[in-house]
Amino acid sequence: MDSLTQIVLGAACGEAVLGKKIGNKALLFGAIGGTIPDLDVLVGGWLYGNEIDAMLFHRGFMHSILFCVLAAFPLGCLFFNLYEKSKKSTVLNIIFSFLGKFFFTSFIYRLFFKYKDEEITINKDWISLFFWSLFTHPILDCFTPYGTQLFAPFSNYRVALNNIAVADPAYTLPFLICMIVLMFFRRTSHKRRVWLKLGVGISSVYMLFTLGNKLYVDAIFRKSLKEASIEATRFSTQPAIFNNILWYAIAETETAYYVTDYSLFDTKNRFLNFREIPKQRDLKPSEYDDIKGLAWFSNQYYSVYKINENEYQYNDLRYPLLDLDNPNTSVFSLLLYKENSRLNMKPFEPKFDSLGDIFKSLWERIKGI
């Protein structure tokens, strides 16, 4: 999901674990934990000189269950000690104390032996806060089309349920409003719990609705393929950005892909107007391992078009086309170029000129035909 949604969910985890003890600061620390997995975008850029490698690193190990377990302990202990020291010391003293005596000489001792029973409980709460704020991040991402390598490094399988868009205001805004409201109550007030449960409850109910909607749309698409006499070997459906009403679908046959869309407000209860897209492969996985990696990333729904002797356009066809009649208008389109014996890619740039026009077209299509 988008960064704002992950911040809100992480803040909710912080409130659930430590809200009664440290108040609104729990929201802050939970939001920090909910943001950390997406720092793999920066880590990938630092680790790899190749932009394709960096992109494939995203939603990998730092979104895995193993990472959540391993990172929760040092992060919980770190922020607990920083929080305790912040009540007595200046920011500069905190930094020097952490880099010096605490981290290198007393981490294990303070964690397991020195604290009194009550302090040990508090420290465990901090570890719990960061575990849940980290863990709920990749779990939420699993519902999106982008997918998450939840079991890395043991498996590179990307869990992608495709039932909600990477940004959906209907999920995020009610949740956000509830988190903002609870901030105005005392940390010991039962009303904070009420608003927390309301935010989690509304967002969870909406998520269940999108899962049911996904099952319904898949059933409609199967019927539509049969009526259109398209013998698909497999297919994929997902909602368009910012909503769960308009759905995009792609079906694969032996020789081509077929794409179409459907709004729940359409007068006919079917996907119509299938467009055929050839399986264009101007670069093949056998020629470059980078294409093999990108094909894995796209779940094999892709095309590659040659632009010139050194440049190629890679279209991830899991995502909607801005123009169904033009396969080169993929929302997720990458410009590849040859670099030594490998491929690299230029920074991703949207294929549209006016965001307002895109939103207008999206709204018109949502209203149905």
Q: Which residues are CB-neighbours of 88 under 8 A, at least 6 positions away?
A: none
Res 237 pLDDT > 80: yes
Provide the pLDDT for residue 91.
Answer: 56
Which DSSP letter does residue 280 get?
-
Res 120 pLDDT > 70: no
Mean pLDDT, the chain, rounded, equals 88
Provide the pLDDT for residue 189.
Answer: 95
Tokens 């905190």 sit on residue = 94
The secondary structure of 347-358 as a DSSP string is PP--S-S-HHHH
Provide the pLDDT for residue 99.
Answer: 44
Provide the pLDDT for residue 101.
Answer: 44
Q: Which tokens is 46 given?
A: 């630092």
Global confidence as pTM: 0.89
Provide the pLDDT for residue 355.
Answer: 72
Provide the pLDDT for residue 11.
Answer: 96
Which long-range contacts link 301-306 to residues 24+ away (Cβ below 8 Å)? 301/236, 301/250, 301/252, 301/257, 303/257, 303/277, 303/278, 303/279, 303/327, 304/280, 304/336, 305/280, 306/282
CA 180 from chain centre, in angstroms, equals: 23
**Phi, psi (5° rounding) for residue 294?**
-70, -35
For 323-337, what is the mean pLDDT?
81
Of the pLDDT bands very low, low, confident and very high (cuts 50, 70, 90), residue 65 is: very high
Q: Under a CB-based contact definition with an 8 Å cutoff, are residues 276 and 294 in contact?
A: no
